Every structure is written in structure tokens, then in C-alpha cells.
Structure 1
Amino acid sequence: MENSSFMTTTALATLLLPFIGALLTACLPQRMAKWLATFFALLATLGTVLMGWGFLAHGKADVTVTLLSYGDVALFGFTFDRISTLIVFAVVFLGLLVSLYSTGYLTAGNREHPHEGGNRYYAFLLVFIGAMAGLVMSSTILGQLLFFEITGGCSWGLIGYYQTPKSQRSAMKALLITHVASIGLYLAAATLFLTTGTFALSALAQLSGTPALIVFGGILFAAWGKSAQLPLQAWLPDAMEAPTPVSAYLHAASMVKVGVYIFARAILESGNVPHIIGWIGIVMAVITMIYGFLMYLPQKDMKRLLAWSTITQLSYIFLALSMAVFGSREAFDGGVAYIFNHAFAKSLFFLVAGALSYSCGTRMLPRLRGVLSKMPLLGIGFCVAALAITGVPPFNGFFSKFPIFAAGFALSHEFWVMTPLMVLVLIESVASFAWFIYWFGRVIPGQPSEEVAQAGPVPAAMRLVLIVLVVMSLCSSVIAVAWLG
């Protein structure tokens, strides 16, 4: 019993520290804001490590703790299992890296946006880290809903951070579209409560018939909105108006992962999701994947290219989770490992883009050339990120893409339609690899272009974060496999 109380205390600390830090950051002088934010992000990261350690010491036994209830109805609690402990580490640790990176990026030395990071920026970032931790560990659909809405508010504050008319429009668009999506979650919560008399996610296993369709359909719809899948994808490319560290955190590591995570959690807790939900998920994932790929062909702005690429990568996770509805454990574990691995690889790519715009003053790909000779770390980072995202071994992307293909072709014994669908997905995978290699050839080798030749130095904090992410792009799959067992 002591262990579960230790884990509960640690989880509460991990959840509350970023919120306390945000309050202090907002009130104290600006020069202290960035170090305070990084310090609190570090404390929260240590909390997730302690939680993982407690979970291991407990023999990896799943524990659910109810913290707040009304009568017999659980309103909020924590779930500790293989998935929540793994993903909470990823989102909080990446929050720490992004906070550290921001201390170098949001300075007057930035050539694209010379600007000292304000208290508002770091406070929103901390609230976001706290909300993500809360959402991942929540054991009730009500807890998920609360933190789902907080992340929406933070994303609005951070996307519109530069206060230009365009960034404020983009922030509003993100807020509205993800709000429309959250209606699905409200509907799911209400239906779950009316059918089972509780908000606990474990009650999803009791659903059948129409209520099951409404609940899982609602969760899938909410997930599409947060993870920018068709038909709710329009907000993500525009959200690139945000400062680059925010793009890396919100649009690669955590906010877009909220959607796939609540879908994964629902599948895990339920065990008998209606098959029609699986088919809708598979079909929409394949359509989004192909649409996203076609959209990133004309992009010249590195961040917009990465935004469309993120949309297609999330489709892979939806594809994997939707296949898990038909009982494929391999697809489910592949999907969860994909959430973990993609967070590190895509963050690396965004932060390389940020370092290029910081030192060269532009992130337009045609104007960048010869990066490797002038800035070797950025050249290596670009290369590792491109290979990891497109799934080339030995990088982390391969180890989460391979199980998805294996599971998809295995399912084609039961459903013949899976074969043509998986072939389409395979074509997209190869084509995206070719496209990233094309840009790699244009941007990284060769004689430096004018912008690259005159590039300024990259601050030490940013270099350190890039090195950590390069290492994680190689190692994170090992962590995921060992943890998911």
C-alpha cells in the first residue's frame, strides 16, 4: 500500500509543481522567468522519473487511485500503467528541453524574431506541461476533459504569443477547431455517466450497443480535432506562427498527442470497441495520410512542411490504434511506441528549424544551402530527424513503423481490404522518405548560401538540447520496447 501512496504523492507533485511554477513565473521579474520555468520543468521531470521507478518497484502492476469523488462517483484520479508512465515522462521531459531551448532562442540575438521571452510565455509553457501530465495520468473522462480544455487555452496563448494579427488569427482558429472537437468528449462523458453511473475510464468496458458507439465515436472525434486529422486539420499548419520552441512542443511532442492518447486510453480500458469505430479510424487515417503528404509537397517554409508531416505521422498512430480495435496487441504497442518515438524525432526537426531561423534569419528551405560545412550539429540533426521520422533503421521511427506494417498485413488474413490499404500506406512511407532526402540534398551538403555563410553562433542551451534529442532519436525505441515489454 505504501508504494501506491508514494506514487500518488509523486504524481500530485508532478501535476501541481508546473502550475505553482507558472504562478511564480508570472509574478516575479522578467529576468528570472526563464530560469524559474526551467527549474520547475526539471522538478516535474524528476517527478515522472520517480513515478516510473515506483511503478517498476511495484512489479509493473497497474494501479488506479481515486482522489476526488462525489458519493460513489469518481470525479478525478490517477492511473499508473505501462502507457501512462511512459508517455508522461515523454511530455514532461520534452517540456523541460523546450524550456531550456527557449532560454537561448527567445533572446535579442535571434535573427528572425529578436525578442526577450516574457513571463507570459514561460508561465503558459509551465501550465501546459502541468495540464499534459494531468491528462495523461487521469483515470476519469472528466479529468481528461478538464485538462483537454486547459491545453486548448494554453495553445491559444502560445500560438498568438508574438501578438501579430496573423498569429492571433491562427491562435483563434486553433482554439475554435479544438473546441468544436471537444464537444465529442463532452458527449462521451455524458453518455458514459448516464449509462454506467460513473466517469471512471474503467467503466468503458461495460458499454455495448448505441451508447458504446456514441462514447467511442465522441472520443475519436475529439481525438481527430486535437491531433489535426481530416476534417479538423486546418488549424495546425497556421499554428506555425508561434515561436519555434512552442511549435516543437505543442505541435510535435504533446498537444497533438493528446488526441491519439485519449483514443489509445479508451481502447485499452474498454477491450471491446465496436468494429465500425475501428473501420472509420482506419479509413480516415489513410485518407488523412495521403492528403497530408500531397499538401507537404509544395511547402517551402520548413515549419509548414513539418506541420503537414506531423499530420501524416499522426495518421500512422491512428491507423495503428484503429487496427488494435480488432484485437491486434502488436498494433497497439506499435502505436504507443510511435507516440513516444515521434515526439523526440519531430521535436528535434522543429528545433533544428528553430536553430536555423535563429542563426540564419530564415527558415525558407530554398534559401538554405551548405548547412553541414558551416554548422555541423544542425546538419547532423536535420539528417537524424529526417531518417528517424521516415522510419529508417537504426533510428527510433523504424521500430514503431515496422510493427504497424506487420500488424496491418497480419490483419489482411481476416479482412482482404487491409492489403490494398497497407500498400497505399507503404507507398506514402517511401514517398515521404524520398521527399525528405530531396530536401536534405538541397539544404545540407554543398557550398553555403549567403544566409548560411553569414550565420551567427547557436547558443549553448540550444546546442545541448539538440544533442540530447539526437541521442534520444537513437535510444527512445529501446526505452519504449523495454517499458512496454
Structure 2
Amino acid sequence: MENLAVTTIFIPLLGALLTLLAPKGSAKWVAQLFAGLATISVLALASSFHSSGVESVTYSILALDQIQLFGLTVDKISTLITAAVVVIGLLIAMFSLGYMSDGNREHPHEAAPRYYALLLAFIGAMAGLVLSSTILGQLLFFEVTGICSWALIGYYQSESSKKSALKALTITHVASIGLFIAAAMLLIETGTFELTALAQLSMESKTVVFLGILLAAWGKSAQLPLHVWLPDAMAAPTPISAYLHAASMVKVGVYIFARAILSAGEVPEIIGVVGVVGAIITMIYGFVMYLPQMDMKRLLAYSTITQLAYIFLALSLSVFGSSLALESGIAYIFNHAFAKTLFFLVAGALSYSCGTRMLPKLKGIVKGSPLLAVAFCVAALAITGVPPFNGFFSKFPLFVAGFELTSVHSWLMPILLLALVESVASFGWIMYWFGKSVIGEPSEAVSTMKPLPPVMSAVLVVLIIMSLCSSFIAANWIG
């Protein structure tokens, strides 16, 4: 398993280097090869872990004078999330074969080798962060993802995209100060960077460390007041928006928070209070902000901010002793990655076919492309938590856990009721745009839409299936 874990990280990083050196015409195929090999590796890792029968195993990679610097943890959570990150990375690389071409009506552009190289580097960095057993390892890959996202958001090299990329890099880098503080405190107090050492800290030290981790998590996962970079980051190519802002970069924050909770044993209740309050404020703000959006990608950006707040809410509720809330938060990370990736790629497919992703210009999609209509519907129902789609099986246990906790923590009741109202309202608003865009006589943009390349259609079909099935995978895997 150690070799497979290391391979899963380094195959995409090696592929990034080779892709960058490859001729322009060959780079995209080199990228497909290495994204495919990384997927085989991570699935082999998950299979090996499952067949081993162990609960968790940690491998030491680099130590200095008994101080553990870097290591890898293979357990149910890390294998589940790494599989999602790598598999979706492959799907994004495949989708890009069609999208990043001269046939794209909105952005006719043949991708440069650096596009695929940066995507592979991001896949490797995400795998490294998720599998890391030390806070120093998390910090290293945290910064690598920041650099890759800066380059990918600014890929088109327009003035607006470069400003958006710099904003994302600056805010997430400032947020990383919290992780630096947490790493320093952990080393000073325990003499190691191992995440399991969090359990050895006093409650006062844990509070400082967790506040640092929360700061970093809020920055990466676009929570108030560090959210402002995410809507502007939609300047990136749409497949990149799908990967960074549905499956990978924004999941860094919630993952490091979840991993800290899993490692720390008892967590100070003040962290749960801060997390819950921050989540509900961000949730309501995100909902209000996506109401006026006409650009489908910006609407999805604010929707992502709101959905991430649900994950923070679940993880913060787990601090009060609810294992169901923790499992809900982990499953939410996994399920939301597939559903929101599907929604972003629907926006990308509409851009490719119709030349626009502006919702008022899109009408009658079902007559122009039944596949896109089905994908739009499935994505909308999945992210708003309608059964039998995957979002329901993340959101429902969250509310069950939350309302169970109100018997002891009555102050949670109004917060959960607000979250419930937001959930219903977001369903109504998304379905409003579904009715306006999908049903009816085709608009001019839809009536002249061009067919999707088979590879783009195939990726949408896979994500539609996963939006139905991923919750069962997560439930069986987590146990």
C-alpha cells in the first residue's frame, strides 16, 4: 500500500513534467495516459486497503532527528477522498479534449501543454494533501495547490483572469498563515508534525491549533470573510472551474478540518460554536448572492460557497459528539464533488454548443440536447438534496444529527431551521432556472447549438451515474 500511495502522488507529478515537455499536439494524449495511470493506481490502493482488513496504516516518508516531517496515512477517509480527486481529475482531462478545442463556440482555443501539465500537477498535489499524515505535509501541498490554481485561473492570460488569479492566490496564501501557526504550535508542544499528536495537546493549545486550521480552511473553501476570490475565479476555463471549485481546491479546507477532528480526540466546544456560526452566516450569504446571478458559472460559484458551508456545519456539529454528523460531512465532500462537477460541466457543454452560458439566453435545452437536459436536471436535484440523488444522503443525516443535538444544545435549533429554509429555497431557485432554461421552445442560441463531441457526452453520462451511485459507495466504504 505504501508504494501505491506514493505512486498515486508521483505519477501525475511526473506526467505534468512530461506533458510540459511534449509537443503541443501530443501533450493532451500524454496527460490522458498519466491521468489514467493515476486512476488505476488509486483504485488499486483502495482495493488493497479494503482487502487488508486494517482500519488505518501510517507510513513514514521523511523524519529528522525523530521529528516526523512527512508521512502518508491510508484509511477509509483518505482512500475515499483521494479516489474522488483522482478519478474526477481523469474525467476533467477527458472532457478537456473536446472543450479545449477550436470547435468551442464561446472559447475557441486549442489547449497549450501547460494547461494539461498544471491539471496533472494539481491532481498529484491534492492526492498528496489528502494522504498526508503530517500537518507539514498538508502545508506543503496546500501551497502547491495554491500555485497551480493561480496559474490555471489565469490560464487565458486576459487582464481580468490575471487579476482573479492573483486574488485567489493572495487570499488563500494569507489564509495559510493559520496552518503555519498550527504547525508551529504542534511542533513546539509535541515535538512532531504528526496529526495524531493533536490528541496530546491541552485543550487551550488545541483551541489555538484548531483556530489556525479553521482560518486556513475558510480561505481554501471560500467561507466568509475569505470567500471573495471564488466567484472571480470563474475566469478559468470551465473544466478547470469544475475541478478546482467542485472536486479539489475548495475541498482542501473542509478536508483538513475533518482530518484534524478525526486526529484530535476531544475537540474544544468553542471550535464547534465558531464553525457552526461561520457556516450558517456563509450559507445564508451565499444563497442571497446567487439569486441575482445570470451567468451560470457565477451562480454555481455562490452555490458552491453555500454547499461548502453545509459541510462545515456537519463537521462543526461533530465537535459536540455526533459521529453521524462527522460521517455526513465526509460523505458530503465525496458526493458534492461528483454532483457539482456535473453541473459545472453542463455549463461548459452549453458554452461549447450554444456559445453562451448566460441563463436568460438559454431556453428549450431539452429539444436541442436531451442529454444536457437530463444532466442539468440530475445536477440540480443532486446538489439541492432531492432523493434518490447523492446530495440527499449527505444532507438528510446532517439534519438528523443536528436535530438530535438540540436536545442538549438548544441554541442549535434556530440555526438548523435556517439551514432547512435555505435548503428548500435553493431547491426552488435552481428549479426555477431549470424550468426557464430547459423547458419550452428553443431560444436562438439553443436552436443553433452544435452537437457535443462523444468524449464530452461520455463524461457527462459517467457523472450522471455517479450522482445516483456515489452515496452508496461512500456509505459502504465509511461503514
TM-score interval, smaller chain: over 0.9
Matched-pair contact (CA < 8 Å) for 1:344–1:469: yes
In structure 2, how many angstroms separate the alpha carbons of the residues matched to 1:215 and 1:300?
40
In structure 1, how many angstroms separate the alpha carbons of the residues matched to 2:440 and 2:193?
58
Query: CA offsets per residue over residues 450-473 of structure 1, 9 Å max, x none?
Result: 000001111111100000000000
The alpha-carbon deviation at position 212 of structure 1 amounts to 1.2
Matched-pair contact (CA < 8 Å) for 1:79–1:138: yes
**Equivalent position SS for 1:76:** strand
Q: Where does 1:45-444 land on structure 2 (aligned, <5 Å)?
A: 45-444=39-438
Q: Which runs of 4+ in 1 moved over 2 A?
A: none
Q: What letter matches 1:187 in structure 2? A: I
**Equivalent position SS for 1:396:** coil
- Normalising by structure 1, what TM-score? 0.98
The alpha-carbon deviation at position 28 of structure 1 amounts to 1.0
In structure 2, how many angstroms separate the alpha carbons of the residues matched to 1:196 and 1:396?
40
Q: What letter matches 1:433 in structure 2? A: F
Matched-pair contact (CA < 8 Å) for 1:60–1:82: no
The alpha-carbon deviation at position 304 of structure 1 amounts to 0.1
Q: What letter matches 2:337 in structure 1? A: A
Q: What letter matches 1:200 in structure 2? A: E
**Equivalent position SS for 2:55:** coil
Matched-pair contact (CA < 8 Å) for 2:185–2:205: yes
Matched-pair contact (CA < 8 Å) for 1:353–1:363: yes
Q: What letter matches 1:184 in structure 2? A: G
Matched-pair contact (CA < 8 Å) for 2:203–2:267: no
Query: CA offsets per residue over residues 216-256 of structure 1, 9 Å max, x none?
Result: 00001100000000010000000000000000000011100
The alpha-carbon deviation at position 60 of structure 1 amounts to 3.8
Match of 1:20 in 2: 14
**Equivalent position SS for 1:351:** helix
The alpha-carbon deviation at position 484 of structure 1 amounts to 0.4
> 2:34 aligned to 40, 58, 63, which one?
40
Matched-pair contact (CA < 8 Å) for 1:251–1:310: yes
Q: What letter matches 1:472 in structure 2? A: M
In structure 1, how many angstroms separate the alpha carbons of the residues matched to 2:118 and 2:85?
15
The alpha-carbon deviation at position 67 of structure 1 amounts to 1.0
**Equivalent position SS for 2:60:** strand
**Equivalent position SS for 2:71:** strand
Matched-pair contact (CA < 8 Å) for 1:257–1:339: yes
The alpha-carbon deviation at position 214 of structure 1 amounts to 1.2
Aligned length: 479
In structure 2, how many angstroms separate the alpha carbons of the residues matched to 1:67 and 1:343?
29
- Normalising by structure 2, what TM-score? 1.00
Matched-pair contact (CA < 8 Å) for 1:342–1:389: yes
Q: What letter matches 1:82 in structure 2? A: K
The alpha-carbon deviation at position 122 of structure 1 amounts to 0.4
The alpha-carbon deviation at position 273 of structure 1 amounts to 1.2
In structure 2, how many angstroms separate the alpha carbons of the residues matched to 1:120 and 1:308?
28
Query: CA offsets per residue over residues 289-327 of structure 1, 9 Å max, x none?
Result: 000000000000000000000000000000000011111
The alpha-carbon deviation at position 272 of structure 1 amounts to 1.1
Residue 457 in structure 1 maps to residue 454 in structure 2: no
In structure 1, how many angstroms separate the alpha carbons of the residues matched to 2:88 and 2:419?
29
- The worse-fitting range, judged by mean Cα deviation, of 35-44 and 180-189 is 35-44
In structure 2, how many angstroms separate the alpha carbons of the residues matched to 1:208 and 1:301?
48
**Equivalent position SS for 1:162:** coil
**Equivalent position SS for 2:379:** helix
The alpha-carbon deviation at position 38 of structure 1 amounts to 1.2
The alpha-carbon deviation at position 210 of structure 1 amounts to 2.7
| Structure 1 spans left out of the alignment, 5+ residues | 1-6
- The worse-fitting range, judged by mean Cα deviation, of 59-68 and 406-415 is 59-68
**Equivalent position SS for 1:455:** coil
Matched-pair contact (CA < 8 Å) for 1:159–1:242: yes
Q: What letter matches 1:343 in structure 2? A: A
In structure 2, how many angstroms separate the alpha carbons of the residues matched to 1:143 and 1:81?
17
Q: What letter matches 2:411 in structure 1? A: V
In structure 2, how many angstroms separate the alpha carbons of the residues matched to 1:217 and 1:58?
36
In structure 2, how many angstroms separate the alpha carbons of the residues matched to 1:38 and 1:130?
14
Matched-pair contact (CA < 8 Å) for 1:359–1:457: yes
In structure 2, how many angstroms separate the alpha carbons of the residues matched to 1:234 and 1:321?
23
**Equivalent position SS for 1:428:** helix
**Equivalent position SS for 2:182:** helix
The alpha-carbon deviation at position 354 of structure 1 amounts to 0.1
Query: CA offsets per residue over residues 305-350 of structure 1, 9 Å max, x none?
Result: 0000000000000000001111110000000000000000000000
Q: What letter matches 1:414 in structure 2? A: V
> 1:29 aligned to 23, 27, 34, which one?
23
Query: CA offsets per residue over residues 78-99 of structure 1, 9 Å max, x none?
Result: 1011100000000000000000
| Structure 2 spans left out of the alignment, 5+ residues | none
In structure 1, how many angstroms separate the alpha carbons of the residues matched to 2:54 and 2:145?
29
Match of 1:3 in 2: none
The alpha-carbon deviation at position 61 of structure 1 amounts to 2.2
In structure 1, how many angstroms separate the alpha carbons of the residues matched to 2:33 and 2:395?
35
- The worse-fitting range, judged by mean Cα deviation, of 243-252 and 62-71 is 62-71
Q: What letter matches 1:194 in structure 2? A: I
Query: CA offsets per residue over residues 358-389 of structure 1, 9 Å max, x none?
Result: 01000000000000111010000000000000
The alpha-carbon deviation at position 141 of structure 1 amounts to 0.3
The alpha-carbon deviation at position 275 of structure 1 amounts to 0.6
What's the RMSD between the two structures over aligned residues? 0.5
Identity %: 65
Q: What letter matches 2:182 in structure 1? A: A
The alpha-carbon deviation at position 209 of structure 1 amounts to 3.3
The alpha-carbon deviation at position 211 of structure 1 amounts to 1.6
